[in-house]
């Protein structure tokens, strides 16, 4: 498909080997196709030329918004500013230290054009009395507005490709600009590339879809996305290209699911035996309706003869761990083992504690394997795991090491799976080398918006725990300013005097010169000064502590010996201390909504009334204020996740970056294009209903295009492992 797009970018006129190497390093552009799909992130109407006076008048606004403007005038003065030129210095400047300043003047005012690099070239080009159109950003330096490294061209120069007046703004780096590959050079390269490749492009969507949806051709779309003549052309190109990306992404995910289901090689687990019943009957409470529903769904999967691949999505405290234990016991009752893989040692230890309590009424042996497991203990665990003596193994990345061998792995539970790479997960799944693959249960306590879930987990079946166990009381969330710290400390004392425990979480470990935020070291000293020993004991946990020290302090808190745990967000997931009733989050404005919600979920795990206090400084952005208001108004994690995605975009929500998908997204947004995503998924579903594995001749184009897109994808080899 479109073999010309695989041509090395160095063969494009004006690029060559050195620039090609730079483009690959800075932007990941190695081929014609990479450059063709390097789309503008904004378009400017270049028919508009601003009077310089108007730019200077509204300069502060333009500068803060990062907007590009176009001005026209005559060079009335030039100067090289900086250290005195050294004898023999070419062009009269000292490389890397001087700057070239030119005054551009029109009938209304004058503005400085400033250049810090490429001075030899610019000195020769920009002469007094010459007329230029300058295109760039307005910036402010020492109270003066100027334009730094603008694109300059004579007024009579036409746009390099196409007759339209709209110009695309491309992402470039400082290094590229310094080497003559700024926006203007990229624009020129795109024009040359289009002239070269458009006549050879083959269509990438079936004619039936193009006609039914009213799309323009792929050639038109690529021409208009780079060089639109008007908004109508731009919108037509965006609609076509966004749909195509989302369609092939959904087609890829849904086809993978069909392939898995068609293989029918799952372990059949037909019975519920003594170990499951012993655990279930010993529970001190009834399962929620949601837990019962989810277990029933997974039991059906596990006895179907097909491999289970199910996402268990549940809000903080909804009882996912118990579901994992009961499913593990079904595996054990059928003669298999189970493993639970967690992203951190803190979470793995917490799982071990929780699981051990649930297994007290059974004969099942559970063990822990992490990077900190001592060599002697490790040898013992590995031997017992291979012999089958260990029924459930809990661990971190250590579980995927080659020397970890199971007797018969039947169920793999992966917690907070977005923190593991696809390749890491697939290595765990392939532990049964000669037997059928284990059933897979992926858990997350991070509520994920629907549009994102269907993309990140589109090849999985989804189960949702949407009920909290009985006895849980809603967490009271409040906002406190810096001047209310004494009130917060007094409230903490009241709770501790009632026998409760308190978390205090900081975003930083050490003070940062750039960030005026609370940091853990200073905060810890202030807390131990106010909460003096021996009456109060304060533990501390953060990512830079050695594992032994971390475990000791964590144990102090979980056992109730420490009243306060000062920590970074390392305690975001998994820590379960029912006696902790207060969560104080310092510099709450630094955290995203999902992370704040995860931290809040560390309290409210017992029957006592619990509180979350969001501390902040006085300078809050509009977004920070909104996040804090939302946290104080609702405890529904799914509502917060939707709002977080609206505010920050899917790529910024932890663990949900658009990179690492089966197919790269160059132009579409998983949140903003939700309606288009639904449309694309419905189209893919309809095609796969009639041809689940895309084997019919009429779908040959789809198969070829999927193969080409996956080949271009960054994690192609990883995805092939789970197809």
Q: For 240-264, what is each residue's pLDDT tens digit?
A: 999 999 999 889 888 887 877 776 6
DSSP alpha helices (H): ranges in 430-546? 450-456, 485-497, 520-530
Q: Do domains 274-465 and 476-652 have the same CATH topology?
A: yes
* Portion of the chain with pLDDT greater than 70, in percent: 83
Residue 42 has pLDDT above 50, yes or no: yes
Instruction: Please give the residue that has the higher pLDDT: either 455 or 367.
Output: 367
Distance CA 244, CA 210 (A): 10
Predicted confidence at residue 344, as pLDDT, reads 82
Torsion of CA 37, 42, 46, 52, to 10 degrees: -140
Question: Residue ranges of the domains in the chain?
Answer: 47-158, 203-263+671-723, 274-465, 476-652
Q: What is the pLDDT of residues 594-609, one digit of tens each?
A: 788 888 988 887 778 9
| Mean pLDDT within 92-112 | 80
pLDDT attached to residue 450: 64
Higher pLDDT, 662 or 369: 369
Select from 2.40.50.140, 3.30.360.10, 3.40.50.1010, 3.30.750.200 the CATH code of 47-158.
Answer: 2.40.50.140
CB atoms within 10 A of CB 18: 10
Paired strand residues for 220: none
pLDDT above 80: residue 207: yes
**Which pLDDT score is estimated for 637?**
79
Q: For residue 660, what pLDDT is reported?
A: 43
Q: What is the pLDDT of residue 88?
A: 44
Report pLDDT for 124: 83
Confidence of residue 422 (pLDDT cuts 50, 70, 90): low
Residue 87 or 135, more confident? 135
pLDDT value for 651: 46
116: left (phi over 0), alpha (psi -120 to 50) or beta: alpha
Q: State mean pLDDT over 285-312.
A: 91
Q: Supply the mean pLDDT for the chain.
A: 83
Statement: 476-652 belongs to CATH 1.20.1300.10: no
How far apart CA 604 and CA 609 sit, in angstroms, is 7
Q: What is the pLDDT of residue 31?
A: 93
pLDDT at 266 over 80: yes
- Model confidence over 551-580: pLDDT tens digits? 888 889 988 999 999 988 766 545 678 899
CA 423 from centre of chain:
17
| Statement: residue 102 has pLDDT above 60 | yes
- Does pLDDT of 302 surpass 90? yes
Higher-pLDDT residue of 256 and 206 is: 206
43 membership: H or E segment, kind and range? strand 42-45
Smallest CA-to-CA distance from 516 within 569, 589, 592 is with 589
Taking the CA atoms of residue 154, residue 157, residue 163 and residue 165 in that order, the dihedral angle to the nearest 10 degrees is 0
Cα separation, 123 vs 79, in Å, equals: 9
pLDDT at 432: 67
Q: 3-class DSSP state for residue 143?
A: coil
Query: Mind listing the pLDDT tens digit for each residue in 317-339?
Result: 788 899 999 999 999 999 999 99
pLDDT tens for each residue of 464-523? 888 877 767 789 999 999 889 999 999 999 999 999 999 999 886 555 545 545 677 888
pLDDT at 517 (0 to 100): 53
The residue ranking higher by pLDDT, 407 or 120, is 407
Least confident interval from 307-321, 381-395, 410-424, 614-628 = 410-424
Averaged pLDDT for residues 665-694: 85
Burial class (CB in 10 A: 0-12, 13-18, 19+), 362: buried
**CB distance 45 to 166 below 8 Å:** yes
Percent of the chain at pLDDT exceeding 90: 39
Give the pLDDT score at 395. 93
Section 652-680 average pLDDT: 66
Helix (H) or strand (E) holding 27: helix 16-27
Can you give the pTM of this predicted structure?
A: 0.63
Of residues 720 and 170, more confidently modeled:
170
CATH architecture of 274-465: 3-Layer(aba) Sandwich (3.40)
pLDDT in tens, 141-194: 777 888 988 888 787 654 444 445 678 888 888 888 888 888 888 999 999 999
| Helix (H), strand (E) at residue 388 | none
What are the pLDDT digits (tens) for 625-643?
989 999 999 887 777 877 7
pLDDT (tens digit per residue) in 386-396: 999 999 999 99
* Nearest C-alpha neighbor of 109 from the set 171, 61, 57: 57
Average pLDDT for residues 581-605, to the nearest whole number?
A: 87
Contact 594, 644 (CB under 8 A): yes
Amino acid 94: pLDDT: 52
Under DSSP, is residue 598 helix (H, G, I), strand (E, B) or coil? helix
């Amino acid at each position: 498909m479109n073999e010309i797009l695989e041509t090395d970018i160095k063969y494009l006129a004006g690029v060559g080997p050195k620039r090609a190497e730079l483009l690959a390093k800075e932007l990941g552009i190695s081929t014609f196709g990479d450059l063709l799909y390097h789309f503008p992130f904004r378009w400017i109407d270049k028919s508009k030329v601003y009077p310089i006076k108007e730019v200077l008048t509204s300069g502060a606004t333009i500068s803060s918004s990062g907007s590009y403007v176009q001005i026209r005038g005559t060079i009335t003065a030039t100067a090289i500013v900086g250290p005195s030129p050294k004898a023999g210095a070419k062009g009269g400047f000292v490389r890397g230290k001087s700057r070239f300043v030119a005054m551009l003047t029109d009938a209304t005012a004058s503005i400085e054009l400033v250049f810090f690099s490429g001075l030899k070239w610019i000195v020769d080009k920009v002469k007094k009395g010459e007329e230029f159109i300058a295109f760039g950003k307005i910036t402010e330096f020492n109270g003066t507005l100027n334009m730094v490294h603008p694109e300059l061209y004579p007024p009579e120069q036409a746009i390099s490709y196409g007759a339209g007046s709209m110009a695309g703004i491309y992402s470039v780096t400082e290094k590229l600009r310094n080497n003559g590959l700024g926006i203007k050079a990229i624009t020129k390269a795109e024009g040359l590339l289009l002239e070269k490749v458009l006549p050879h492009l083959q269509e990438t969507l079936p004619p039936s879809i193009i006609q039914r949806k009213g799309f323009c051709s792929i050639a038109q779309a690529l021409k208009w996305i780079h060089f639109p003549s008007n908004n109508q052309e731009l919108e037509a190109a965006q609609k076509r290209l966004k749909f195509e990306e989302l369609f092939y992404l959904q087609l890829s995910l849904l086809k993978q699911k069909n392939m898995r289901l068609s293989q029918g090689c799952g372990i059949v687990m037909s019975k519920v035996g003594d170990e499951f019943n012993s655990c279930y009957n010993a529970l001190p409470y009834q399962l929620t309706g949601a837990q019962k529903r989810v277990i029933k769904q997974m039991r059906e999967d596990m006895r179907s003869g097909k491999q289970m691949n199910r996402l268990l999505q549940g809000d903080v405290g909804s009882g996912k761990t118990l579901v994992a234990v009961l499913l593990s016991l079904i595996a054990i009752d059928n003669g298999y083992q189970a493993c639970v893989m967690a992203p951190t040692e803190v979470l793995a230890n917490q799982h071990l504690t929780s699981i051990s309590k649930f297994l007290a009424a059974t004969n099942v042996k559970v063990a822990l394997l992490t990077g900190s497991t001592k060599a002697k203990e490790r040898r013992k665990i590995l031997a017992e795991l291979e012999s089958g003596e260990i029924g459930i193994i809990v661990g971190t990345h250590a579980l995927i090491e080659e020397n970890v061998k199971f007797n018969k792995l039947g169920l793999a539970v992966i917690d907070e799976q977005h923190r593991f790479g696809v390749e890491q997960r697939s290595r765990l799944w392939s532990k049964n080398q000669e037997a059928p693959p284990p059933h897979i249960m992926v858990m997350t306590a991070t509520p994920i918006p629907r549009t994102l879930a269907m993309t990140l987990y589109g090849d999985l079946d989804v189960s949702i725990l949407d009920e909290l166990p009985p006895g849980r009381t809603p967490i009271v969330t409040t906002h406190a300013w810096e001047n209310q710290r004494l009130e917060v400390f007094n409230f903490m004392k009241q709770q501790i005097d009632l026998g409760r425990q308190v978390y205090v979480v900081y975003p930083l470990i050490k003070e940062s010169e750039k960030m005026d935020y609370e940091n853990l070291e200073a905060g810890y000293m202030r807390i131990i000064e106010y909460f003096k020993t021996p009456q109060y004991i304060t533990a501390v946990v953060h990512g830079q502590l050695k594992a032994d020290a971390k475990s000791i302090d964590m144990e102090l808190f979980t056992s109730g010996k420490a009243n306060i745990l000062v920590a970074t967000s390392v305690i975001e997931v998994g820590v379960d201390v029912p006696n902790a009733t207060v969560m104080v989050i310092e510099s709450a404005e630094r955290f995203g909504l999902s992370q704040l919600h995860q931290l809040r979920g560390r309290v409210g795990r017992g029957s006592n009334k619990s509180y979350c206090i969001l501390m902040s400084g006085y300078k809050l952005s509009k977004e920070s204020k909104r996040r804090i208001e939302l946290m104080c108004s609702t405890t529904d994690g799914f509502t917060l996740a939707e709002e977080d995605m609206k505010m920050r975009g899917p790529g910024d929500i932890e663990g949900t970056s658009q990179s690492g998908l089966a197919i790269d997204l160059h132009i579409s947004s998983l949140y903003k294009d939700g309606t288009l995503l639904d449309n694309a998924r419905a189209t893919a579903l309809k095609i796969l209903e009639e041809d689940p594995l895309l084997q019919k001749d009429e779908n040959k184009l789809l198969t070829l295009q999927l193969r080409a897109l996956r080949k271009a994808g960054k994690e192609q080899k990883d995805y092939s492992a789970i197809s």
